Structures are given as C-alpha cells and as structure tokens.
C-alpha cells in the first residue's frame, strides 16, 4: 500500500492520480508494510512453511485509491489511466534505462492481462488487518495544504500540458515533494531521483509502481 506514496504529491498538485493499472476499475491485491512485517516476525523463528502470501482485507482499484486519497486529503482527486503508448517515453524520461523500462512495461502488461495473482491451492494465503484508508491517511503530511500554501487558485495557475495535466514544477509542489521525501519508506528514492521521476510523470501522469 505504501508504494502509492510516490505519486501522492502529484495527485495532490494536479487532482489526478496516475496509474498504469488498466482498466482503472481493475481490483488488485495490496498490503500494508506493517502487516508484512508482522507476518515475517511470526514466520521467521519457526519451521519452514513453504509459500506464504499476504494481502490486505480487500482488493482495491486505482479508482478506490483516488477516492481514499480524496477523502483523506479533503480534495477532489480522480484516477487517470496513462495511455499504453505513452509508457516507454515516460519511463525513459523518469531515468530508467531501456531494459529496465521494458521490464516495467512487461510487468504491467502481464498484470493487466490477469496473469499475475496468487495461485489457487498453492501455499498458504494470509490477510493483513490494516485498512487501505488508514494507510493513505498516514502518508499525508500534516496540514499539507496549509503549510505548503497550495490552493485551488495555485492549481489553476499552473501550466497545462497537451494531455490536460498541470505541470507541478512549483514551490508549492516542491514543498509537498520534500515532505514525502521525509516519509522515509523503504524503496522511496532520494529527492533528486524522486523529482526526476515526478517530472516525467507530470507529462504522462503515471503511477508506474504500484501495488
């Protein structure tokens, strides 16, 4: 669930949550990091258990994620399906090498085709107890809208790209991005690379990450 933190700043800045999950209504398994940690702490001292998978109490779609973020932030946020033909250029602009970008594309193509899931009858399936809305709220910086002085008027003043997504390269956006950098989640890249990724996402508006 926490992987969505990487695109929260752009969603707050533009009102659109980018996603490579197609269609946006497709529900996918996701899990809170703390639930993974608790399960690992339970399993590691014991005997080998074979394959053990874990996901949250219920599967969510990109639409659900946008809705949860909107409820937590008090802003109107909608999910945005990044067109498939824009993925390669967007990922290259984000700083990925050609081979890495192709791996990401292959991953999402396979996932969107329904070929990645827990295999029924194989191993043990467990479920976390943390709700997605709880995780989403925990990832928001306190009073971000006030401390960053970001208003709807600020948003409306941002330049608009051809695809209708506003350019978040503003002091207010940088303020929000800096706050998210301090979240310190495992796998969250440092500020320079983070900004390069988000700068690329603003053109095509993607969540290229994200379970």
Domain harbouring 110, CATH code: 3.90.25.10
Q: Assign 211 a pLDDT band (cuts: 50, 70, 90).
A: very low
**Predicted local confidence at residue 210, as pLDDT:** 37
196: which residues sit within 8 A by CB, 6+ positions away? 94, 95
Q: Cβ(77)–Cβ(141) under 8 Å?
A: no
153 located within any domain: yes
In 3-state terms, what secondary structure has residue 152?
Answer: helix
* Two tokens, residue 143: 């009073």
pTM above 0.85?
no
**H helix intervals, the chain:** 8-14, 33-43, 62-73, 87-93, 98-112, 132-138, 144-147, 152-157, 171-181, 191-204
Q: How many domains does the chain have?
A: 1
Residue numbers of the domain that contains 17: 2-204
Burial degree of 182 (CB within 10 A; 0-12, 13-18, 19+): exposed
**Predicted local confidence at residue 119, as pLDDT:** 86
209 located within any domain: no
211 located within any domain: no
* DSSP assigned state of 26: -
């Amino acid at each position: 669930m926490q992987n969505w933190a990487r695109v929260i700043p752009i969603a707050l800045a533009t009102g659109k949550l980018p996603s490579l999950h197609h269609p946006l209504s497709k529900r996918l398994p996701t899990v809170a990091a703390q639930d993974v940690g608790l399960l690992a702490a339970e399993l590691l001292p014991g005997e080998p258990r074979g394959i053990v998978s874990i996901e949250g109490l219920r599967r969510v779609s990109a639409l659900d994620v946008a809705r949860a973020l909107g409820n937590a932030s008090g802003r109107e946020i909608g999910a945005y399906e990044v067109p498939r033909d824009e993925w390669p250029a967007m990922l290259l602009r984000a700083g990925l090498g050609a081979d890495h970008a192709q791996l990401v594309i292959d991953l999402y193509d396979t996932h969107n085709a329904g070929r990645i899931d827990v295999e029924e009858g194989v191993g043990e399936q467990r479920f976390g107890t943390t709700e997605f809305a709880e995780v989403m709220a925990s990832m928001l910086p306190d009073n971000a809208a006030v401390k960053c002085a970001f208003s709807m008027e600020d948003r409306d003043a941002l330049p608009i790209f051809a695809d209708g997504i506003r350019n978040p390269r503003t002091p207010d956006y940088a303020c929000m991005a800096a706050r998210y950098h301090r979240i310190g989640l495992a796998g969250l890249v440092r500020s320079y690379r983070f900004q390069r990724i988000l700068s690329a996402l603003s053109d095509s508006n993607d969540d290229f990450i994200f379970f």
